[in-house]
Structure 1
Amino acid sequence: MTLLASLMLFGILGILLLLGVPIALSIALSSVLTISLVLPFDVSIITAAQRLATGVDNFTILAIPLFVLAGTIMNNGGIAFKLINLAKVLVGRMPGSLAHTNVVGNMLFGSISGSSVAAAAAMGRIMTPMALRQNYSRTYTAAVNIASAPAGLLIPPSSMLIVYSLVSGGTSVAALFMAGYLPGILWGLAVMAVAYVYAKKRKYPVSEKISWKDRAFIAIDAIPSLLLIVIVIGGIVAGIFTATEGAAVAVLYALVLSLIYKQLKVQEFKTIFKETIEITGMILFLITASSLFSLVMSYTGIPSSISESLLSLTESTIVLLLIINLILLIMGTFMDITPAVLIFTPIFFPVITELGVDPVHFGIIIAFNLCIGNITPPVGSVLFVGTSVAKARLEDVIKMLVPYFIVLIIMVVVITFVPQISLFLPGLFDLL
Structure 2
Amino acid sequence: MITILGIVFLVTLALGIPVAFCLGITSLTALWMMDVPLLVLAQRTFTGVDSFPLMAVPFFVLAGELMNKGGTTQRLIDFAHALVGRIPGGLAHTNIVASMFFGGISGSAVADAAAMGTILVPGMTKKGYPAGFSAAVTAASSTMGPIIPPSIFMVIMGVTTGLSIGGLFAAGVVPGFLLGFTMMAYSWYLAVRRGFPREEGWMGFSQSVKSFVRAFPALLAPIIILGGILGGIFTATEAAAVAVFYAFLLGIFVFKELKLKDLPEIFINSGVTTAVLLLIIGMANIFAWVLTAEQIPQQIADVMLKITKNPYMILLFINLFLIFIGMFLEGGAAIIILAPTLLAVATAVGIQPLHFGLVMVLNIVVGLLTPPLGVCLFVVCGVTGLSLSRITKAVLPFLALEFGVLLLVTYVPGIILAIPTWLGYMR
TM-score range, shorter chain: over 0.9
Structure 1 residue 206 corresponds to structure 2 residue 202: no
Gaps spanning 5+ residues in structure 1: where?
A: none
Q: Secondary structure in 2 aligned to 1:70? A: helix
Structure 2 counterpart of 1:63: 56
Matched, 1:177 2:173: no
Listed as ranges, the matches of 1:328-343 within 5 Å are: 328-343=322-337
- In 1, the alpha carbon distance for the partners of 2:22 and 2:133 equals 36
**Identity of aligned pairs, percent?**
38
Give the partner amino acid of 2:404.
I
Counterpart Cα distance in 2 of 1:185 and 1:34:
42
What letter is aligned with 2:292? S
Describe the shift of the 1:397–1:56 C-alpha distance in structure 2 as closer, same or farther (beyond 3 A).
closer
Deviates more, 1:410-419 or 1:351-360: 351-360
Higher mean displacement: 197-206 or 270-279 = 197-206
Secondary structure of the structure 2 residue equivalent to 1:153: coil
Please tell me the root mean square deviation across aligned C-alpha atoms, in Å. 1.6
Match of 2:411 among 384, 408, 417: 417
Deviation at 1:272, TM superposition (A): 0.6
Mean Cα deviation higher: 8-17 or 418-427: 8-17
Return the alpha-carbon distance in structure 2 between the equivalents of residues 259 and 19 of structure 1.
45
State how far apart, in whole Å, the 2-side matches of 1:145 and 1:254 are. Answer: 23
* 2:355 maps to 1:361: yes
Q: 1:334 to 1:162 in 2, by over 3 A?
A: same
Answering whether residue 368 of structure 2 is matched by residue 374 of structure 1, we say yes
Partner of 1:186: 178
Question: Are the counterparts in 2 of residues 139 and 393 from structure 1 also a CA contact under 8 Å?
Answer: no
CA distance in structure 2 between the partners assigned to 1:58 and 1:118 by the alignment? 23
Determine helix, strand or coil for the equivalent of 1:95: coil
Q: Distance in 1 between matches of 2:40 and 2:375?
A: 33
Amino acid at match of 1:428: W
Secondary structure of 1:55 counterpart: helix
Deviation at 1:121, TM superposition (A): 2.0
What is the alpha-carbon distance in structure 1 between the residues aligned to residue 111 and residue 151 of structure 2? 13
Q: Displacement, 1:414? A: 0.6
Using the TM superposition, name which of 124-133 and 368-377 deviates more. 124-133
Looking at structure 1, the residues matched to 65 and 145 of structure 2 have their Cα atoms a distance apart, in angstroms, of 15
- Does residue 1:231 correspond to 2:224, yes or no? yes
Task: Indicate if the aligned counterparts of 2:103 and 2:149 stay in contact, CA closer than 8 A.
Answer: no
Q: Over residues 208-266 of structure 1, what are the superposed CA-to-partner deviations in whole Å (9 max), with x where a residue is unaligned?
A: 22101111121122121111111111111111111111111111111001112111122
Q: Which whole-Å CA distance do the structure 1 matches of 2:33 and 2:387 have between them?
A: 47
Structure 2 residue runs without a partner (length 5+): none
Q: Secondary structure at the match of 2:197?
A: coil
For residues 349 and 20 of structure 1, what CA distance do their matches in structure 2 show?
31
Give 1:367's aligned amino acid. Answer: V
Asked if the contact 1:154/1:180 (under 8 Å) is kept, the reply is yes
Q: Distance in 2 between matches of 1:187 and 1:335?
A: 23
Equivalent residues in 2 for 1:230-269, closer than 5 Å: 230-260=223-253, 261-269=255-263
Matched, 1:31 2:24: no
* 1:91 equivalenced with 2:84 (yes/no): yes
Instruction: State the one-letter code of the partner of 2:227.
Output: G
Cα shift at 1:393: 4.0
Which AA in structure 2 matches 1:402? L
Matched-pair contact (CA < 8 Å) for 1:302–1:347: no
Q: 1:246 to 1:136 in 2, by over 3 A?
A: same
Contact kept in structure 1, 2:121 and 2:138, CA below 8 Å: no
Q: Which amino acid aligns with 2:416?
A: S
Length-normalised TM-score, structure 2: 0.95
Provide the rounded CA distance (Å) in 1 between the counterparts of 2:206 and 2:157.
Answer: 44
Is 2:345 the partner of 1:351?
yes
Distance 1:284 1:131 in 2: 35
In 2, the alpha carbon distance for the partners of 1:76 and 1:34 equals 44
In 2, the alpha carbon distance for the partners of 1:32 and 1:135 equals 52
1:304–1:350 Cα contact (<8 Å) kept: no
| Conserved? CA contact 2:110–2:142, under 8 Å | yes
The aligned amino acid for 1:320 is I
Closer/same/farther in 2, CA of residues 199 and 15 from structure 1, 3 Å limit: same
Pair 1:192–1:282, CA change in 2 (3 A): same
* Separation in 2, partners of 1:374, 1:92: 27
Deviation at 1:28, TM superposition (A): 2.3
Q: Aligned residue for 1:12?
A: 8
How far did residue 339 of structure 1 move? Answer: 1.3
Whether contact under 8 Å (2:73, 2:102) holds in the other structure is: yes
Per-residue CA deviation, residues 25-76 of structure 1 (Å, 9 max, x unaligned), is 22123223223434x443xx23333222222221111111111111111121
Q: 2:323 is matched by which residue type in structure 1?
A: L
Code of the residue aligned with 2:136 in structure 1: it is: A
- CA separation of 1:386 and 1:21: change in aligned 2, threshold 3 A: closer
1:124 aligned onto 2:117: yes
Give, as a single letter, the amino acid of the residue that structure 1 aligns with 2:126.
R
For residue 207 of structure 1, what is the amino acid of its counterpart?
E
Contact between 2:20 and 2:280, CA under 8 Å: does it hold in 1?
yes
Task: Quote how far apart the aligned CAs of 1:421 are.
Answer: 1.4
Is the Cα contact below 8 Å between 1:54 and 1:288 reproduced in 2?
yes
Moved more, 129-138 or 359-368: 129-138
CA deviation profile, 1:335-367 (whole Å, cap 9, x unmatched): 221112222212312211212222222121111
Distance 1:53 1:141, change over 3 A: closer
